[in-house]
Amino acid sequence: MTRSLSTDLRRRVLAAIEDGVSTREAARRFRIGISTAGAWYRRYRETGETEARKQGQPSRSKLDVHEAFILGLIEEAPDITLTEIRERLAIERGVRAAPSTVWLFLDRRGITFKKRRRTPLSNSARTSCAAV
């Protein structure tokens, strides 16, 4: 992962745009991407932030505070699907989450459930030791 660009550069780009230079011209002048300059300026207008935000994914899940609820759902119905957990969270807790978020939450806790497909009985192989 690369480092974020310096705060000084960000401030100079934002100052140039504030002074009336177009976003494209500021990007060309400071040798950064047009979309980068636009994103910096948009964020500056909306929040006033000029510092780089922390990179990477957050270490905590938004579902951590609902851990007891989710584990209760699994105890209640061990074969509950990710989509069903997601729906119950939305209805009962008002939390919107993708099934992948629910999966990641469960994976971090080592909770798995694999459904087995039923296989038809074999006519040629023994199915019991008592049949001998």
Helix, strand and coil in the chain, % to nearest 5: 55, 0, 45
User: Is 121 part of any domain?
Assistant: no
Q: What is the amino acid identity at position 4?
A: S
CB 124 within 8 A of CB 112: no
Domain count, the chain: 2
In which domain, by residue range, is 42 found?
7-47
User: Is 130 part of any domain?
Assistant: no
User: Is 128 part of any domain?
Assistant: no
User: Is 94 part of any domain?
Assistant: yes
User: Is 58 part of any domain?
Assistant: no
Q: Per residue in 56-100, pLDDT tens?
A: 876 788 899 999 999 999 999 888 899 999 999 999 999 999 999
Task: Enter the pTM of the model.
Answer: 0.47
What is the per-residue pLDDT for 45?
Answer: 94
User: Is 34 part of any domain?
Assistant: yes
Output Rg (C-alpha) for the chain, integer angstroms: 27
